């Protein structure tokens, strides 16, 4: 089925490098979310888009984190000057709209910073 697709599935980068993580939401889904999941913890909210508008970025841990969704579909999460504490699984979720419709998640990108 056409679920949420994330790429790459795994990413290894050296400390200080920039990385870009991609999310393809379910077709037609208006809302898109990024979450960060540390080992052994539940996912934590990073940022939220309604179409192309980034309505909430309160969860982004620092100004090194940047997300965009220019055409209201595909989204990219960029991390500049990566640090070891950025190592985590980054999850993307989409939902039809901002009502009580459930969010559907991709399988995430596992980022390891050496």
Partner 1 sequence: DAKTTQPPSMDCAEGRAANLPCNHSTISGNEYVYWYRQIHSQGPQYIIHGLKNNETNEMASLIITEDRKSSTLILPHATLRDTAVYYCIVRVGARGYSGAGSYQLTFGKGTKLSVIP
Binding residues for partner 1, rule: CB under 8 A, are 4, 31, 33, 35, 41-45, 48, 55-56, 58-59, 91, 93, 98-100, 102-108
Q: Decide whether 70 or 102 has the Cβ nearer to partner 1.
A: 102
Nearer to partner 1, 67 or 108 (CB): 108
Rank residues 66 and 105 by Cβ distance to partner 1 and give the closer one.
105
Q: Which of 42, 38, 41 is nearest to 61 (CA)?
A: 38
Question: What is d(CA 103, CA 114) in angstroms, rounded to the nearest whole number?
Answer: 32
- Please, what is the minimum distance in Å from the beta carbon of residue 98 to partner 1? 6
Q: What is the 3-state secondary structure (H, E, C) of 12-62?
A: EECCCCCEEEEEECCCCCCEEEEEEECCCCCCEEEEEEECCEEEECCCCCC
- CB 81 to partner 1: min, Å: 26
Distance, first Cα to last Cα, the chain: 35
Cβ 46 to partner 1, closest distance in Å? 9
């Amino acid at each position: 089925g056409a679920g949420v697709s994330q790429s790459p599935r795994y990413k290894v980068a050296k400390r200080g490098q920039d990385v870009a993580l991609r999310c393809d939401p379910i077709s037609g889904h208006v809302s898109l979310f990024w979450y960060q999941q540390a080992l052994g913890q539940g996912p934590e909210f990073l940022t939220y888009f309604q179409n192309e508008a980034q309505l909430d970025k309160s969860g982004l841990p620092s100004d090194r984190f940047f997300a965009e969704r220019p055409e209201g579909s595909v989204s990219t999460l960029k991390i500049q000057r990566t640090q070891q504490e950025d190592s985590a699984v980054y999850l993307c979720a989409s939902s039809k709209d901002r009502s009580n419709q459930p969010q559907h998640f991709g399988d995430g990108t596992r980022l390891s910073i050496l």
